[in-house]
Amino acid sequence: MLTFKLNTNRQTFNKQFATTEKSPIFQSTNYITRSTFGATNSKNNHLKKYIIMKFRILIISILFLGFYSCNNDCTDNIVNITSLEKEYGCTDTKYQMDIDLSENYMIIRNQPDFAEFVSGSCQPTIDFSTYDLVIGKKGLGSGNESIEYQLIENCETGNLNLKVTFFQNIASVAPNLTYHALIPKMESQQELNTEIIIEY
């Protein structure tokens, strides 16, 4: 009798499980589980694709910026200049050469203009096919030891900046000095600026 009851109960359970498995609720639950798992996989795949796309954009941006930086990484050029002392043997031009200017400068590009505007003992015939003459006047509050010049060409614009440095001492004189530089012949569209620096 006990064996029969166990077999009967097992058969009853199997029938109930089979009936439950076929029931709409069970099938619906199973479908939802599979759908949820599929949706999770779809989200993970979408996230991976999104991350890969962002990484590629980042790499391309870095490469582009590096290439742009290399192509635009220019350095200003120091241009060789000379003077009337070196080229034509003039002496003490800061005192012996004069021009009718006050705290200003001009660019002389030909011999007639030089003869018209510049006076004093230094009157050479300048090779204006090779040089332009930058000449100016500067009033100072003390004695002057020396004047130094540096011409810099801007790498982006091609324009020029002439740094004129006056090295001063404590002498109680107030000279009005003439400064000048012979620079390479400028292009027609090239511009020049002077920067005055006073050091003690």
Instruction: Give me the sign of the Cα torsion angle 18, 20, 21, 22.
Output: positive
Last residue of a domain, one of 71, 106, 128: 71
Last residue of a domain, one of 17, 37, 71: 71
Range of the domain at 38: 2-71
pLDDT bracket for residue 4 (50, 70, 90): very low
Dihedral angle, C-alpha 8, 13, 15, 19, nearest 10 °: 160
113 and 139 together in one domain: yes
* 115-151 tens-digit pLDDT: 999 999 999 999 999 999 999 999 999 999 999 999 9
Of 13 and 80, the structure prediction assigns the larger pLDDT to 80
* 53-65 tens-digit pLDDT: 777 788 787 776 6
Q: CA-CA distance, 84 to 97, in Å (whole number)?
A: 10
107 and 192 together in one domain: yes
88 and 62 together in one domain: no
pLDDT over 90, % of the chain: 62
pLDDT bracket for residue 7 (50, 70, 90): very low
Last residue of a domain, one of 49, 71, 93: 71
Single pTM value for the model: 0.65
Q: How far is CA 183 from the centre of its chain?
A: 27
How many structural domains does the chain have? 2
The H or E element containing residue 162 is strand 160-168
